[in-house]
């Protein structure tokens, strides 16, 4: 089926079009530039930016894919989780399109869509049409799309500005299990807050990633949240937070560390702090994710979310998965960050599984649970 997906949960306005598991286009407009001077995404600005960007992004996507709205078999839209006002814009636009064209509309979970993108198969032409340059390797979308079937025992590690979660995907269309998640800040949020403390600007992830390469990660040891025995328990008797993360204590530890250097009148070793902070984040994310996978018989893991851009996270996840006999799949970066193609990809899976559309009476849900793949009519 030809499916058009719409994404507006945060600061990216995305329209993606797929045919089954083939990516035709992934068109994204971001309002990130407008948030830089505030040091974070301002919901009201993001919502207005979606309003401005939606129609041009839709037109561009249809042109890139060389299809018309008439050709489309189904529409899909992110209905949550995300910023309420931002979600509202995409959902209203999608409903309007559904009413105007009479096409079925699927209300889709953003987090599950981050995983569903892994089902897209290699299509260098589609990549070129979407302006990413020709010659994308055949393993385009993480190499999961073998005949549009996900591997059994698939896990997903989602690490972004809003989420840090380890999932077990029993069925991408109907059965997603949350194994663990952050109990406070998301990993990307921690990067952004620590970058602010270190005076590195926003978004903080890329800046810390770059600076960390010049620092000594062993110069300081920052805490690995929720790693004490009382939280971990044992495999037989798991603690309450065995697979969960916490990053707010780490952020406070970085702030205290900077204060101590300043109080002593010493130069703050910013690169060492960045490297040590990054090591703490990546160490605890990868150790807990791999533990959860081992204890749940997971043999394939998909890495997703904007923090998947992080060089150290990719490296250490790769190493630890390999040691544990787990195969790691990392989609190309423009499919890891928020986009419409992932929404279309999951929408196509729902159509192909014979699951019914959502109608047009649903409301966006800013805290939609990851266990809800799509909304029933
Ligand atoms: P969500 O997808 O959960 O709704 P979001 O839209 O904020 O949230 P993304 O756009 O997927 O998340 O990712 C943005 C986050 O990724 C930011 O917090 C940014 O700092 C972080 N990030 C980007 N590149 C890197 C990097 N190289 N290293 C670490 N973090 C990074
Ligand atoms: Mg974003
Ligand atoms: Fe996202």
Provide the Cα torsion 272, 273, 275, 280; round to 10°. 140
Per-residue pLDDT, 142? 53
Instruction: Dihedral sign for Cα 234, 247, 155, 287, please.
Output: negative
Per-residue pLDDT, 154? 93
Residue 130 has pLDDT above 70, yes or no: no
Name the closest-CA residue to atom 9, ligand 1: 306
Per-residue pLDDT, 143? 55
> 116: exposed, middle or buried (C-beta count within 10 Å: 0-12, 13-18, 19+)?
buried
CA of 111 to the centre of ligand 3 (A): 6
Per-residue pLDDT, 129? 34
Q: What percent of the chain has pLDDT over 90?
A: 83
**Atom number of ligand 1 nearest to Cα 11:** 6
Cβ neighbours of 222 (radius 10 Å) = 22
Distance CA 345, CA 349 (A): 6
Distance CA 374, CA 113 (A): 10
Distance CA 377, CA 359 (A): 5
Per-residue pLDDT, 144? 61
Of 46-60, 215-229, 323-337, the least confident: 323-337
Residue 133 has pLDDT above 60, yes or no: no
> 269: exposed, middle or buried (C-beta count within 10 Å: 0-12, 13-18, 19+)?
middle
CB 63 within 8 A of CB 129: no
Distance CA 307, CA 164 (A): 9
pLDDT digits (tens, 9 = 90+) for 88-120: 999 999 999 999 999 999 999 999 999 999 888
Is position 209 annotated in a ligand binding site?
yes
- Residue 225's SS3 state is coil
Cis ω on the peptide bond leading into residue 81 (within 30° of 0)? yes
Is position 272 annotated in a ligand binding site?
no
Strand-pair partners of 121: 22
Residue located via tokens 């909304």: 375
Per-residue pLDDT, 114? 93
| C-alpha distances out from residue 9 to 77, 279, 365, Å | 10, 29, 10
Distance CA 222, CA 227 (A): 12
Q: Is the CB of 188 within 6 Å of ligand 1?
A: yes
The Cα angle at residue 105 between residues 101 and 110, in degrees rounded to 5: 135
CA of 18 to the centre of ligand 2 (A): 21
For range 118-136, the mean pLDDT = 48
Distance CA 69, CA 212 (A): 47
Q: Is the CB of 206 within 6 Å of ligand 1?
A: yes
pLDDT digits (tens, 9 = 90+) for 244-283: 999 999 999 999 999 999 999 999 999 999 999 999 999 9
Q: What percent of the chain has pLDDT over 70?
A: 93
Name the closest-CA residue to atom 7, ligand 1: 161
At a CB cut-off of 8 Å and minimum separation 6, what does 11 contact? 30, 31, 32, 35, 41, 46, 49, 86, 338
ipTM over 0.90: yes
For range 297-320, the mean pLDDT = 94
Q: Which of 311, 329, 316, 322 is nearest to 169 (CA)?
A: 329
**Atom number of ligand 1 nearest to Cα 278:** 29
Name the closest-CA residue to atom 5, ligand 1: 161
Mean pLDDT of the chain: 91
Q: How many residues does the chain have?
A: 377
Is position 109 annotated in a ligand binding site?
no
Of 5-19, 111-125, 299-313, 349-363, the least confident: 111-125
pLDDT digits (tens, 9 = 90+) for 178-210: 999 999 999 999 999 999 999 998 889 999 999
Cis ω on the peptide bond leading into residue 203 (within 30° of 0)? yes
Please name the helix (run of DSSP H) or strand (run of DSSP E) that holds residue 222, with its range, or none. none
Is position 284 annotated in a ligand binding site?
no
Q: Is the CB of 143 within 6 Å of ligand 1?
A: no
């Amino acid at each position: 089926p030809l499916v058009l997906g719409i994404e507006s949960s945060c600061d990216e306005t995305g329209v993606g079009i797929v045919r089954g598991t083939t990516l035709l286009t992934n068109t994204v407009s971001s309002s990130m530039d407008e948030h830089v001077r505030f040091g974070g995404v301002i919901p009201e600005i993001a919502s207005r930016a979606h309003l401005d960007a939606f129609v041009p992004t839709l037109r561009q996507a249809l042109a890139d894919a060389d299809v018309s709205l008439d050709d489309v078999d189904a529409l899909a839209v992110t209905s949550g989780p995300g910023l309420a006002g931002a979600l509202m814009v995409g959902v209203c636009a999608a409903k309007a399109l559904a009413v105007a064209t009479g096409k079925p509309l699927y209300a889709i979970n953003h987090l599950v869509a981050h995983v569903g993108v892994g089902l897209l198969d290699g299509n260098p032409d589609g990549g070129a049409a979407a302006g990413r340059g020709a010659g994308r390797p055949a393993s385009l979308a993480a190499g999961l799309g073998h005949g549009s079937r996900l591997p059994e025992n698939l896990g997903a590690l989602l690490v972004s500005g809003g989420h840090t979660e380890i999932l077990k995907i029993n069925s991408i269309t109907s059965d997603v299990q949350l194994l663990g998640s952050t109990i406070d800040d998301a990993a990307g949020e921690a990067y952004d807050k620590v970058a602010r403390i270190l005076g590195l600007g926003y978004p903080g992830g890329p800046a810390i990633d770059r600076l960390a390469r010049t620092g000594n990660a062993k110069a300081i040891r920052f805490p690995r949240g929720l790693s004490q025995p009382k939280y971990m328990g044992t495999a037989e008797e798991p603690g309450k937070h065995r697979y969960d993360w916490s990053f707010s204590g780490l952020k406070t530890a970085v702030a205290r560390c900077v204060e101590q250097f300043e109080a002593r009148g010493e130069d703050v070793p910013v690169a060492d702090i960045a490297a040590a902070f990054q090591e703490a984040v990546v160490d605890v994310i990868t150790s807990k994710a791999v533990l959860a996978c081992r204890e749940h018989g997971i043999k394939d893991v998909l890495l997703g979310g904007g923090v998947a851009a992080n060089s150290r996270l990719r490296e250490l996840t790769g190493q630890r998965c390999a040691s544990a006999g787990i195969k790691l799949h990392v989609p190309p970066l423009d499919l890891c960050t928020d986009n419409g193609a992932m929404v279309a990809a999951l929408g196509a899976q729902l159509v192909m599984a014979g699951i019914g559309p959502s109608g047009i009476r649903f409301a966006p849900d800013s805290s939609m649970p990851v266990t809800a793949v799509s909304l029933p009519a």
